[in-house]
Chain A
Amino acid sequence: MAENVLHIENVTMQFGGVVAVNNLNLDINQGEIVALIGPNGAGKTTAFNCVTGVYEPTNGKIDFLGETIVENFPHGKMKKLYAGENMGLYSNVVSHTPDVITYKGIARTFQNIRLFSKLSVFENVLIAKHMRAKQNFFSAALHLNRAEEKRMREESMALLVEQGLDKYKDDVAGSLPYGLQRRLEIARALATDPKLLLLDEPAAGMNPQETLELAAFISEIRDKYKLSIFLVEHHMDLVMNISDRIYVLDFGKLIAQGVPAEIQSNEKVIDAYLGVSEDE
């Protein structure tokens, strides 16, 4: 049995009265590519936001590499309002800001690209190196950390070369074509040295050719950086192609899970999602 990387346990995320994610259970093992699919509004991005510390789930627990990084139970105003399951199962609160989660080794991209669009391609990657630098404010501000600054720059450059983005190094990130912006967002996430990479609809807006390339690219970085990958995507050929396992979410609830072949032939999934996904 491979080592568990991410363990999502009974996670419910409720916004006011709206239950966006309802009792989600999901596991990712070392080296796996796991996809989370489902119709728009099913709660996929919300699940990502719970893992990365953007939202505090209303109930449930998330472990990363054996360490509990998120835990919560309905309290305060939510105590009365809570409409999910497993009330009373948890009694601790563990909560981190997103930067701490990133530091622990979970990096992400966003459904709506969020590059530092007025900064250069190079700076976008370089900024991601800031977190792991050993400099302090004064040594950096007075430029006494030349060796480290040089290393950060070299590593960023190497990453850009690897991703084929080096010729756009000095371009303003926002001026890149759409496909390359997605690429850059992945490169920037890789620059944080993650162990788990969360990709939220990385192929959105890509043509079939680009999607095909992206699929190969995701498998490639998984092997190269020894990553595990958690993927949200609507392009079914991509998902079926590269995923080891797939979870299907509908109205916040898990309706199926399994290897691609199982999911493709699952009646519930076809009804809820696969049947309609073609017209999107």
Chain B
Amino acid sequence: MMGNKKRDFILSLILAAVITALLVYVDKEMHYSMLASVIQKASIYALLAVSLNLLNGFTGLFSLGQAGFMMLGAYTYAILTIPLEQHASVYQYFNGGIVNICLPAFVGVIAAGIVAVIFAWLVGKPCLKLKSDYLAIATLGFAEILRALIQWEVLGPVTNASNILKKFPKFDSILTPVIVCAFCIFLVVLLINSSYGRAFKAIREDEIAAEAMGINLAKTKMQAFLTSAFFAGVGGALLAMFQASVQARSFTSAMTYEILLIVVIGGIGSITGSIIGSFLYIASSEWWLRFLDDSQTYLGVNIPFMRGGFRMVVFSVVIMLIVLFYRQGIMGTREFSWQGIIDFFKKPFAKRKRKAVEDNG
């Protein structure tokens, strides 16, 4: 047992070193490459997927408010960190706006999480009592209303209405989002493996039994909901930093579905799955499957259906196939472990060996 622990620790150390070396290399040599961009965005989406998974996968609460909380985080971060001398140009239609503070980026990211938590509390108070499907509708509605509200002219001096927010601090290295997201995901993993994480799972398994075991449903659901919102807010802030601009228009329910898709692909109830799912999804949609949106000519024949938006059609088909035939996703509810990897690679060998013996015998 002790030997395994030591082995796992050493393997983890090696993996961390290899990843860090790769990231440093990509950051130095290919800072503006597609790969660098995918790494940053996928890390952020991994955090967002983990945050959604905490609710949908671990607590059994079906929420669709993710884009709303992300938007709150992105706006909070942007509004609080735009340098004062840039206010006149950013808020050009609102006389430089009325926000007269500029906080350090780090504080802005935390504030993003906190603002999302405050709104989550307001939404959760009435909505968490609802049955699961109603909760989904209510949170979806909340996100849509919020998006309209932010673009409201009256709030313009703060939110810049439907105009873009920009010129706030961005990432200076691709390592920043990776490290921040990894740290946040680590915190979620700690939570899931704590007594509260077990209470979440108990609620997911059977609310009536959980309550009979002394778990306060309202309070515990709220804890999961607020935690999820906090990391959605942080993820939103990071997304703002990555994109270098924020506009309410982009935080549509399609964004929530994108994250939900990642959770489903990875496995509902698996953190590892959400991370793998995120990298696969972002790499495919931003990079590998880009060609689907361009008109292509093969052997002199123009393929008619390959044009802007076709990529999303392919994704819709993929999600349908997954839901129909592969409900477990990549990981099911399993998590990464070195033993799991070793067993995975041993199995085919063991089979082959046995086969060889049988063939000879």
A residues with a Cβ closer than 8 A to B are: 52, 54, 97-100, 102-103, 107-108, 110, 114-119, 123, 126-133, 135, 137, 140-143, 145, 149, 152, 188, 192
**B202 sits at the interface (CB 8 A):** yes
With both chains docked as a complex, state the minimum distance between the C-beta of A207 and any C-beta of chain B, in angstroms. 25
Of A98, A118, A142, A152, which is within 8 A of B212 by CB? A98
In the complex the two chains form, is B196's CB within 8 Å of A141's CB?
yes
A188-B190 contact, Cβ under 8 Å, with A114-B208, A116-B206: no
Q: Which residues of A contact B333 (CB under 8 A)?
A: 118
Stretch at the interface among B99-107, B213-221, B277-285: B213-221
A140-B215 contact, Cβ under 8 Å, with A119-B205, A127-B202: no
Q: Which residues of B contact A52 (CB under 8 A)?
A: 212
In the complex the two chains form, is A99's CB within 8 Å of B205's CB?
no
In the complex the two chains form, is A188's CB within 8 Å of B213's CB?
yes
With both chains docked as a complex, state the minimum distance between the C-beta of A76 and any C-beta of chain B, in angstroms. 19
CA separation between A143 and B223, bound complex, in Å? 16
- Give chain B interface residues in 181-213, CB to chain A under 8 Å: 187, 190-191, 193-196, 198-199, 201-202, 205-206, 208-213
In the complex the two chains form, is B206's CB within 8 Å of A130's CB?
no
Offer 14 A-B interface pairs, CB within 8 angstroms, sorted by A.
Answer: A52-B212, A97-B218, A103-B214, A110-B208, A114-B209, A115-B209, A116-B201, A118-B333, A119-B205, A127-B198, A130-B215, A131-B213, A142-B187, A192-B213
Residue of B nearest to A152 (CB): B195
With both chains docked as a complex, state the minimum distance between the C-beta of A96 and any C-beta of chain B, in angstroms. 11
Q: Which residues of B contact A130 (CB under 8 A)?
A: 195-196, 198-199, 202, 213-215
- Smallest CB-CB A-B distances: 9 pairs: A131-B214, A116-B205, A114-B209, A102-B214, A141-B191, A98-B211, A140-B194, A128-B213, A127-B202
Residue of A nearest to B201 (CB): A119
With both chains docked as a complex, state the minimum distance between the C-beta of B154 and any C-beta of chain A, in angstroms. 37
A143-B211 contact, Cβ under 8 Å, with A117-B205, A130-B199, A137-B223: no
Choose among A102, A137, A149, A152 the residue with the greatest number of B CB atoms under 10 Å from its CB.
A137
Of B191, B199, B205, B212, which is within 8 A of A102 by CB? B212
With both chains docked as a complex, state the minimum distance between the C-beta of B229 and any C-beta of chain A, in angstroms. 14
In the complex the two chains form, is B194's CB within 8 Å of A143's CB?
yes
With both chains docked as a complex, state the minimum distance between the C-beta of A92 and any C-beta of chain B, in angstroms. 23
Q: Which residues of A contact B193 (CB under 8 A)?
A: 143
With both chains docked as a complex, state the minimum distance between the C-beta of B316 and any C-beta of chain A, in angstroms. 30
CA separation between A98 and B193, bound complex, in Å? 25
With both chains docked as a complex, state the minimum distance between the C-beta of A185 and any C-beta of chain B, in angstroms. 9
Of A100, A103, A114, which is within 8 A of B206 by CB? A114
CA separation between A141 and B193, bound complex, in Å? 8
Determine the interface band of chain B, counting residues with CB < 8 A from chain A.
Answer: 20 to 34
CA separation between A97 and B221, bound complex, in Å? 15
In the complex the two chains form, is B196's CB within 8 Å of A140's CB?
yes
CA separation between A186 and B222, bound complex, in Å? 29
With both chains docked as a complex, state the minimum distance between the C-beta of A169 and any C-beta of chain B, in angstroms. 15
Task: Tell me if B's interface is mostly helix, strand, loop or mixed.
Answer: helix
Q: Which residues of A contact B206 (CB under 8 A)?
A: 114-117
A116-B211 contact, Cβ under 8 Å, with A97-B217, A133-B195: no
Residue of B nearest to A98 (CB): B211
With both chains docked as a complex, state the minimum distance between the C-beta of A201 and any C-beta of chain B, in angstroms. 16
Q: Which residues of A contact B214 (CB under 8 A)?
A: 99, 102-103, 128, 130-132, 192
CA separation between A103 and B214, bound complex, in Å? 6
CA separation between A62 and B22, bound complex, in Å? 67
In the complex the two chains form, is B201's CB within 8 Å of A137's CB?
no
In the complex the two chains form, is A142's CB within 8 Å of B201's CB?
no
In the complex the two chains form, is B212's CB within 8 Å of A108's CB?
yes
CA separation between A265 and B196, bound complex, in Å? 52
CA separation between A119 and B210, bound complex, in Å? 12
With both chains docked as a complex, state the minimum distance between the C-beta of B183 and any C-beta of chain A, in angstroms. 12
With both chains docked as a complex, state the minimum distance between the C-beta of B214 and any C-beta of chain A, in angstroms. 3
In the complex the two chains form, is B211's CB within 8 Å of A118's CB?
no
In the complex the two chains form, is B213's CB within 8 Å of A127's CB?
yes
With both chains docked as a complex, state the minimum distance between the C-beta of A231 and any C-beta of chain B, in angstroms. 17
Q: Which residues of A contact B215 (CB under 8 A)?
A: 99, 127, 130-131
Residue of A nearest to B333 (CB): A118
With both chains docked as a complex, state the minimum distance between the C-beta of B269 and any C-beta of chain A, in angstroms. 9
CA separation between A145 and B187, bound complex, in Å? 15
A102-B195 contact, Cβ under 8 Å, with A127-B202, A141-B187: no
CA separation between A141 and B191, bound complex, in Å? 4
Q: Which residues of B contact A128 (CB under 8 A)?
A: 213-214
With both chains docked as a complex, state the minimum distance between the C-beta of A139 and any C-beta of chain B, in angstroms. 9
In the complex the two chains form, is B202's CB within 8 Å of A116's CB?
yes
CA separation between A143 and B188, bound complex, in Å? 12
With both chains docked as a complex, state the minimum distance between the C-beta of A192 and any C-beta of chain B, in angstroms. 6
Q: Which residues of A contact B198 (CB under 8 A)?
A: 119, 123, 126-127, 130
In the complex the two chains form, is A99's CB within 8 Å of B195's CB?
no
In the complex the two chains form, is B217's CB within 8 Å of A99's CB?
yes
Choose among A100, A103, A128, A129 the residue with the greatest number of B CB atoms under 10 Å from its CB.
A128
With both chains docked as a complex, state the minimum distance between the C-beta of B147 and any C-beta of chain A, in angstroms. 30
With both chains docked as a complex, state the minimum distance between the C-beta of B216 and any C-beta of chain A, in angstroms. 5
With both chains docked as a complex, state the minimum distance between the C-beta of B53 and any C-beta of chain A, in angstroms. 16
In the complex the two chains form, is B190's CB within 8 Å of A99's CB?
no
CA separation between A185 and B205, bound complex, in Å? 14
Choose among A99, A118, A132 the residue with the greatest number of B CB atoms under 10 Å from its CB.
A99
With both chains docked as a complex, state the minimum distance between the C-beta of A132 and any C-beta of chain B, in angstroms. 8
In the complex the two chains form, is B190's CB within 8 Å of A142's CB?
yes
CA separation between A123 and B201, bound complex, in Å? 10
In the complex the two chains form, is A137's CB within 8 Å of B213's CB?
no
CA separation between A140 and B227, bound complex, in Å? 14
CA separation between A102 and B212, bound complex, in Å? 6
Q: Which residues of A contact B196 (CB under 8 A)?
A: 130, 137, 140-141
CA separation between A28 and B40, bound complex, in Å? 64
In the complex the two chains form, is A135's CB within 8 Å of B213's CB?
no
